[in-house]
Structure 1
Amino acid sequence: MISKRLFPDLAPLLNSADVIWVAMALVKETALKQLLAEIKNEHASVKFLIGTDLPTEPKALYHIQSRLSDNFLARLFETSKTFHPKVYLLQHGLKYTAVVGSANMTLGGFQDNIELGVFVENQDDCIEIQKWFTKLFHAGFPINKDNIALYENRYNETKEIEGIVRRSRKSGFKKPATGNPLEGIDFGNRYFKYEHHWAFRPVLWEDRSAAANRERKAAYDRFFELHSQIFPLFAQKNFRELAHHHIDRFIVSHFSHQDGYTSKQLKSIWLSYGKNNELLNQYRNKYSPRDDDDSENTQSFINHARLQVIIHQNDIGIWLFFAKGNGGSELDRRHFRDKMNSSKVYREQFFKACQKLRDPYFIWLDENVPLSSFEDEDALHTFCKSDHSSNHFVIGRDFRIEDPEVSLKEFPDTVMREFEKLFPLYDMMRDKEFG
């Protein structure tokens, strides 16, 4: 078996292993703890052989030292030659499985880096690996206080120099221009990866092939992961009446062309939240009781105001969104127009709510205008009068792929934070005929 993301494939083998051998060139404490937490058999025999040529963290060695016992043995390996293996050998009963690859024991190696690992099931090969490990292990040095202290001194002296060298190594290469705007972006710590954005390059906008659908499906699946992270938090934030589509497969928009549902050009997909189905049924019963087909029904989920996260080739948007066409969120737009036209207090409240956002937020009708460009509520009102159901109506912001707010760790929190900012506008602008 070939593994491109090591840890999810390795963890099930760790869970029930009887014996575990690990030969690793570089170990970091966070990844070490993650790996050890997966060893569920309290009677398992574990042996670590760790190199000192790469910058293994001293605190990882201290952690290993604290675990040493009759069933948990570990040694340092150091010779005049560089120790560079990344090998796991696991025994379950009489059966061996080896994992040999490029990934060090780091979080990057486990999940985010471009790595490759091979799972070896051939028992003769595994026995050869076990003999290789045992020979090196006997030549190793004990992991004790004195040896860790000696290594730590060298580690601290060289860490800064190695960092400078590493940065300079990565700054000298240039690639010819390719016309790909994603070239040169480091996606290692991005929530949405290269393939998620690249699926929305112009050449695929009208592509209905199975291959194009597979590319877009990866972004579709990633949005469902985001949904599982953020939706359980809505109740804490008092996002009243903010629900996902009542049909699970439509929680995220279509990744393939669907007549009546998608435009001719699939430039993006999105995850959105709006009125719940109980409310929508009341709208359907009053305004379009004969339209059972959700694609034709002007009171479907997509034809009401929504908060959404949207991905394009070059950016990620978090928006308050009113659709165009197919009903064009007409009831929400009409409610907003009537309020703006009839109430100075409402216009002032709307302006103040928009001013709290300011840069880099924009409002989009037939053009994209920064919210900070409006001097007062009358100027904003004049602009909003150009609203028409043939255009999208958007208030929100776009994030560059490189922005820290859309990193793997930060993005779910970013979405919740942006929804908190946009929800007051959503609540002001949505139609409330049925609550």
Structure 2
Amino acid sequence: MDKWVWEKGYITKAVSEKKINKIIIVSAFFSDYGLDIIREIQRKNNLQKSSILIYLSKEFSLHKPGDLLEKLTEYAIVYIVHKLKLHAKLFLFYTTEGVQIYHGSANFTRGGLENNLELTQEIVLTDTLRLEEFIEHCHEAAVKAESETIQQYKDIDEELTEFAKINRYANQKIAEIFMVNGDPFSEMDYDLDSYYFTFQDYETLFPKYHSSESPIIRKRRDEVRRKLLNLNDILKYELVKLNLHNHWASSKNPKWTTSQIEPSSYNHDRVSWICVRYGKHKKNALLGGGSAEHYESFVKHACMQVTVVEDGIQIGLFHATANGAIDRNYLRSKIDSLRDEIHYQIAKLRGEQLVWHIYDPKANRTIRSFKIDEENPNDFVDFYKKYDAEGYESFCISQLQPDDENLKTVSTIVQIAKGKIEKMHPLYRLITWTIQN
């Protein structure tokens, strides 16, 4: 095998499918994300510390490098190449089929492995003598990272933090050159280096790209979808316990697990958000003759959603599409008799930063909002009856800012989404139609 790759996430995906018995990493920069990858490979393959060798430049990180080194040395033997200026990126994964090798522009960081446009050559070799000569060259120019070196890095943490701020400021001034009016935020407004969703993910949903059919923007939307599907691989098993399910036809068409990622009549020719949905089981929603094989057959019913938008992540209950929503009609027919129960459930949601919106998708504007934390729960039914109408979307969401700590990893996102949805579930059950009711 010998090929050039630039697909985001390619390396981590490729090595995750291999049985690995030794790793050598040479990288100018390294991060907590790289540490997470090493931990997972070590756990999966039951590797000894002596089987993981890592060579780093002396400038490998400006973000608490002492702490990172300390954690990394629990899993690997680490060397700091300080007698030469290390700029190389070389990853060797020893398997039963040979040595899987990657070299190119990518560092062993989230940016290098997941986010940036990188070019990497993938090779499988059985004879690695020449490369091992290079590793030996790095070794001769290095010092082993032990307690004294780790402490020396820790001693300069504050100074490095200041340098990092200066670096971010410089990057912000450069980023401002390419900002346009209407951008919700700039790349430097949040430090998202260690977050699952990146600035580029959010930027993909900025107004300037809503209607774009550019191949690059299409690929970026597909990347957001891929990340949501990764979340779904875990979250769906948690939510099925609440009788919440993916799209009825998603097993045949996995793309229907998320909302559409191309401008179309469904989204008014703009992709301003991408979500993964959880709703009714088809046996509870499809009457005789109904079809589960159409995209819209599922989305006409109320769903719980985890949504990437231009300025963060939304978790909530999407109750009604603009037209033909099953549960709008049901709630309107029952709302007076359910008034007290609805108010009781709304009151239970205080403190969850939830806001119910009535939204006009054609005009792309909010008609009215009900802030559950601030308003009297006993006013909700009157709010709903006054403002909800055919032609409007109706949904209740909690929004997390891009740098919210809950958005750092797949597991933290799954936990916050599961918690919010569990709390909204009694209200969801109360105001949605099923065959049984």
Q: Please classify the TM superposition score into its range, dividing by the shorter chain length.
A: 0.7 to 0.9
The structure-2 alpha-carbon separation of the partners of 1:326 and 1:208, relative to structure 1 and needing over 3 Å to count, comes to farther
Cα distance in 1, alignment partners of residues 350 and 408 from structure 2 = 23
Q: Who is 2:315 aligned against?
A: 318
1:97/1:126 contact within 8 Å kept: no
The aligned counterpart of 2:236 is: 231
Please name the residue that 2:132 is paired with: 130
- 1:407 aligned residue: 408
Distance 1:164 1:127, change over 3 A: same
1:391 maps to which residue?
392
SS of 1:167's partner is helix
Q: 1:251 aligns with which of 230, 234, 257?
A: 257
Give the Cα separation in 1 of the matches to 2:246 and 2:13: 32
User: Which ranges in structure 2 are unaligned for 5 or more consecutive residues?
Assistant: 359-366
Per the alignment, in what secondary structure is the counterpart of residue 304 of structure 1?
coil
Task: Label 1:47 to 1:264 Cα distance change in 2 as closer, same or farther (>3 A).
Answer: closer
* CA–CA separation in structure 2 for the residues paired with 1:50 and 1:269: 38
Counterpart AA for 1:383: F
CA gap 1:113/1:158 in 2 versus in 1, 3 angstroms: farther
Aligned to 2:421: 419
Aligned-pair CA distance for 1:12: 6.4
Measure the CA separation in 1 of the matches of 2:414 and 2:17. Answer: 30
CA–CA distance in 1 between the matches of 2:184 and 2:423? 30
Change (3 A) 1:158 1:113: farther
Q: Say if 1:8 and 1:429 are closer, same or farther in 2 by CA, change over 3 A.
A: same
Measured in 2, the distance between the counterparts of 1:31 and 1:191 equals: 13
**Structure-2 residue corresponding to 1:69:** none
How far has the Cα of 1:127 moved from its partner? 5.1
Distance 1:341 1:2, change over 3 A: closer
Deviations 1:320-376 (A, max 9, x none): 2222344222xx33443344323xxx4233223212323632222341231245335
1:276-326 CA-partner distances (Å, limit 9, x unpaired): 111222xx33xxx5x7697698xx322222212233323332222222344
Judging changes above 3 Å, is the alpha-carbon distance between structure 1 residues 128 and 324 closer, same or farther for their aligned structure 2 residues? closer
Q: Residues 337, 182 of structure 1: CA spacing in aligned structure 2 closer, same or farther, 3 A cutoff?
A: same
Instruction: Give the 5 Å matches for 1:66-105.
Output: 78-79=82-83, 81-83=84-86, 85-89=88-92, 98-101=101-104
**Residue 11 in 1 paired to residue 15 in 2?**
yes
Indicate conservation of the 8 Å contact 2:323/2:391, yes or no: no
Matched residue count: 400
Amino acid at match of 1:198: E
CA–CA distance in 1 between the matches of 2:54 and 2:381? 68
2 CA distance for matches of 1:364 and 1:370? 9
TM-score where L is the length of structure 2 = 0.73
**Bigger CA drift: 218-227 or 31-40?**
31-40
Q: Which has the larger Rg?
A: 1
1:336 matched to 2:331? The reply is yes
- Alpha-carbon distance in 1 for matches of 2:314, 2:74: 44
1:119 paired residue number: 121
Secondary structure, counterpart of 1:398 in structure 2: strand
1:58-90 CA distances to partner (integer Å, 9 max, x unpaired)? 45446556xxxxxxxx876554x5555443456
Equivalent residue for 2:341? 349
Alignment correspondent of 1:68? none
* Matched letter for residue 430 of structure 2: M
Out of 149, 163, 166, the residue aligned to residue 164 of structure 2 is 166
Q: For the structure 1 residues 354 and 61, does the alpha-carbon distance in structure 2 shift closer, same or farther, using more than 3 Å as the test?
A: closer
Cα distance in 1 between the residues matched to 2:72 and 2:263: 50
Distance 1:36 1:388 in 2: 55
Identity of aligned residues (%): 17
| 8 A contact 2:322–2:390 mirrored in 1 | yes
- 1:369 is aligned with what amino acid? F
* 2:239–2:245 Cα contact (<8 Å) kept: no
Shift of 1:391: 1.6
Cα deviation 1:199-242 (Å, max 9, x = unaligned): 3333444456766544433333332222212011124xx413x2
Q: 1:24-59 CA deviation, whole Å, 9 max, x = no partner?
A: 5677765554455576899x9876656666546245
Provide the aligned C-alpha RMSD in A: 4.2
Structure 1 unaligned blocks of 5 or more: 66-73
Q: How far apart, CA to CA, are the structure 1 residues paired with 2:131 and 2:28?
A: 16
CA drift of 1:392 comes to 1.5
The one-letter code sitting in structure 1 at the alignment partner of 2:408 is S
